[in-house]
Amino acid sequence: MLAQASIEATSAQGTRLVPMSEFYLGYKKLALKPGEFISAVYIPMPVAQEKIKLYKVSRREHLDISSFTAAFALQIESGLIKQIRVVMGGMAATVMRLGEVENFLIGKPFKLETFKQAGKLAASSLAPLTDVRGSREYRLKLAENIFSKLYHEIEEESLVKK
């Protein structure tokens, strides 16, 4: 979803493209019609200035179902957030893009306060459930704080040209 990929679904009737953002309909429910199978996945080439960051929180590092995941793709130009995509998992039945948070961040200065505000907005717009992997409150705190972690990692890597 973060990469803006599309799935090619093929059946005896032909093929069709399904954007990844429309592919997951619900828990264990996909946008495949009866008789269709995935014949290809198309992933656009990333933009050269785009930075991608992926995060996973789970009890074990490998072979575990995540409590929370977050993925970010962003471009920063002249100290401003030029473009950003935000995807989170573990917050609903399927992974989801946070369009409201993306719209808030675009054009804003690359500053810690901006990312803290985005974290609060993300947490206020999500409604995760409590299950064996984590409580609702735990997941909301992760969603809020991951934005600060993102900011600090990018700042540390000196990717921002001011």
Residues 81-132: tens digit of each pLDDT: 999 999 999 998 889 999 999 999 999 999 999 999 999 999 999 999 888 8
Q: How much is the pLDDT for 44?
A: 94
**Burial (CB count within 10 angstroms: exposed 0-12, middle 13-18, buried 19+), residue 79:** exposed
Listed by start position, the domains of the chain span 6-42, 51-156
Beta bridge partners of 70: 55, 88
CATH number at 51-156 = 3.30.390.50
The pLDDT, as a whole number, for residue 60 is: 73
What are the tens digits of pLDDT across the range 7-22?
999 999 999 999 999 9
CA distance linking residue 71 with residue 54, whole number of Å: 5
